[in-house]
Amino acid sequence: MNNIFIALDFENETLAWEFLNQFPEDVRPAVKIGMELFYREGPAFVEAVKAAGFTVFLDLKLYDIPNTVGHAVRNLARLDIDYLTIHTAGGVEMMQAAVAGAAEGAQSVGVQAPKLLGITQLTSFSEATMQATQLVEASMAESVTHLAKLADEAGLAGTISSAFESQMIHDATRAGFLSITPGIRLAGDAIGDQSRVVTPGRAHEMGADGIVVGRSITQAADPVAAYQQVVAEFTQGA
């Protein structure tokens, strides 16, 4: 399934490959490579995962001035990745620089530009924590919808939020704008540091176009079975 991303939150590539090698060759889940693994193993690991046939979502959550983000995205797009995250909080100009950088970098090596996804409000934030941290009175719904509209205006492919906001994002953006949602747990699994959490089936019902699942799969006694359960629940609804 290309819209169910397993978060490869492992310390190094040996552990990541041990995990991936449990999947039969005809099952190639989409994978999300985040800061932990990228900062250790770098672009070579991304290229190896892509070469092994996996859809690659690079989750680096870029956030800087427009010139810096645009040039960073231009380099990352040369890796032939499928998705890349940037922060919507960097503003429209920063996001537009990222869109331009993605097109330039991909074109320079003859690959497809990655779909850019804007981080809205992290799924680890509750409404109260967000308001206190950012010194705002806006509700979670208002904030996420506002940031999704900015991302849409800047030309991003979609946003990252919790599934609680998926429907309002769809209502506020153009048709086809993606709502991809982490903060997913199989029933009974520990929530840990997440706040806005739903099951795969509920995420589907709430309008998520795709989900990111880490520990409910990677920490499961049988990760392949857990992945299959996630796929079944997300495909069929709760």
Annotated binding site for substrate: 9, 32, 59-68, 123, 185, 194, 214-215
Q: How far is the CB of 167 from ligand LLZGTKA7 (least distance, A)?
A: 17
Active site residues per annotation: 59, 61, 64
- Binding site residues, ligand LLZGTKA7, CB under 6 A: 7, 9, 34, 119, 122-123, 160, 182-184, 194, 212-215
CA atoms of 58 and 22, how far apart (whole Å): 21
Alpha carbon dihedral 155, 173, 182, 114, in 10-degree steps, equals -20
E strands present in 82-199 = 83-87, 115-119, 158-160, 178-181
The answer to whether residues 65 and 95 touch, using CB atoms and an 8 Å cutoff, is no
Q: Which is nearer to ligand LLZGTKA7, 86 or 122 (CB)?
A: 122
The answer to whether residues 38 and 61 touch, using CB atoms and an 8 Å cutoff, is no
Q: Which is nearer to ligand LLZGTKA7, 192 or 237 (CB)?
A: 192
Q: How far is the CB of 170 from ligand LLZGTKA7 (least distance, A)?
A: 18
Q: Which is nearer to ligand LLZGTKA7, 89 or 111 (CB)?
A: 89
CA atoms of 149 and 75, how far apart (whole Å): 26
Residues at the binding site are 9, 32, 59-68, 123, 185, 194, 214-215
**Residue 197, token pair as written in the block:** 């959490």
Q: Which residue's beta carbon is nearest to the bound ligand LLZGTKA7? A: 214
